[in-house]
Chains A and B, each alone.
Chain A
């Protein structure tokens, strides 16, 4: 048994505990997404399915260190693990995918476009990079009200989004405003089918931090411990008033862009390289090798996740879809400003 005290990091994170915790959400995310991909292939999902296979460690490592009810977390399309770690119930994901009227988006939006803004999880739009400034605005509002405390806001993007003007504007603005923002860039090497060589020409994405006057860190996205420590440092620096933090996770997307995509364009040599390792398998191995958990407990965790996922999908699948006839077809909240379109 490893001495747990020796695994403590500077800011008091107990690595074995955080590792176990993150691992649990990684298992849940992988289990859910494998199941939902099967349901998709069975033709029971309206719209697409986008999974975070290979990115679970990077995703969970951030969210597991945030506090729901206090912090802000803006996940992107491959952050099922982070969403679960931040406290999103599996049933919410199942309902949004299955189109249940009881889901948080009530059938008005689907799959990964879900959130609960009042609980600190803005609902992503598809336009990449657009959520960063929204998180900044949430932090900004709390600071104006004197309610910021040690809140931290996190926004997740991928390598593709770094090419957008939205990301540039948002990073620059957050730096100017010195907001306690952590921006996680999952560098999974491909934006849909486009490799990084066609996405950016800088040597390393982390160097962009210098240009914004903020701090940047790179972590090994296949190594949960490295991800946990990288985010732990970034979160404490943000909380300590050191401004926005960029954390780049080097990893490989172990799936297509969506389940409709066989990702044939990812060369075998990249898949076989170090970044092509499966973070979940690596974490499980380390967990047992370090003696932080047992094979039996891991098996039990996986079994429990399978049951939870099965139940959630069954439940959501049995719920009523939204009813177009009784639906409230108003896009404005203020009744007096609703347009009287009589030809509808």
Chain B
């Protein structure tokens, strides 16, 4: 009896399985989307796969720096503050990566100066840590707002074409993580990248 019920049910199950599979293949076919169409018209946003929003900030030496001017090289954009312990921990790793990949990748530390006691605190901290990579000052907190930084540190890996490859929220990042992300960044993450 049970055997008959099973054998009666099997063709129905098979038919349903074949229909399910056919529907799935059909759905995959109709939802095909060329990469250019998927990425076309994407507005700059602080998310992986999107063009990095442009920012212009004062630098520690009194000048001004613009993110768009770094186009053509990979950029590690690290938002940090002196009072944030994980930021402090990952600084030496960022410095080593900056030294090892100089000319290929730019490390930029964006200090959230609006949350600091003053610029002198930042300067003293960098001297104490032996940091030589460029540090920009987010004096009004506008860059942090643009990049929707809700937690420190937050790091954006941006490829040579200005597309954000990855966002790492929190830290400290291990040095190997930085190095592997640089490798990925150099391969590129824009739709036209290999």
Please indicate whether A and B come from the same complex rather than being unrelated chains: no
Chain A residues near B (Cβ < 8 Å): none
Chain B residues near A (Cβ < 8 Å): none
